Amino acid sequence: MLDRQPVLEDEHIRLRPLRASDWDALFAVASDPLIWQQHPAHDRWQEPVFRAFFDDALAGGGALIAIDCASDAVIGSSRFQGLDEAGGGSVEIGWTFLARSHWGGTYNHAMKRLMLAHALASVAEVRFLVGESNLRSRRALETIGAKLTDRREERIMAGGRIVAHLTYVITRDSFAAGPLA
């Protein structure tokens, strides 16, 4: 059984379960409109929109806050969601965002490496759903070795807008042979 709220750490980043008391620090990061510029929820920097995102993350039970090990500063978050234990098991990693000061690969790669290694010890596959027009996130997934599948999903965003999402996958074997191994 996959523990969706572990504590994971390497030399760059510490991931721990999200708590209600993390609101101020995480919203301080999320309130940068440029983080959300290409994201389907491009208004997530606004307090009421981010509040709904934050509350959903807490309620879902799979959210992790990301902390820079060097500074002990909150730098973003991610989630394990949609655990499916059939056929070897699968889980989605998503809802990830990082402070722009931590863009460029190192911290995203560290976060994904930790989360993938943890998940793939319990499930056979990790899924990533990304908005079709979110080219930054799509490139980031390809950089870590995720493969685009033919699976698509329509997701209802805030305000009822429907956005097409593409599915990328990393399996145990592809992770072991990939750039994050």
> What is the CATH architecture assignment of 8-177?
3-Layer(aba) Sandwich (3.40)
pLDDT tens, the chain, 181 aa long: 899 999 999 999 999 999 999 999 999 999 999 999 888 888 999 999 999 999 999 999 999 999 999 999 999 999 999 999 888 899 999 999 999 999 987 999 999 999 999 999 999 999 999 988 889 889 999 999 999 999 988 877 666 778 889 999 999 999 999 999 8
Q: pTM score, two decimals?
A: 0.94
Q: DSSP E strands: which ranges in 58-160?
A: 63-68, 74-84, 90-98, 125-131, 147-156
Rounded CA-CA distance 47/45 in Å is 6
Residue spans per domain, the chain? 8-177
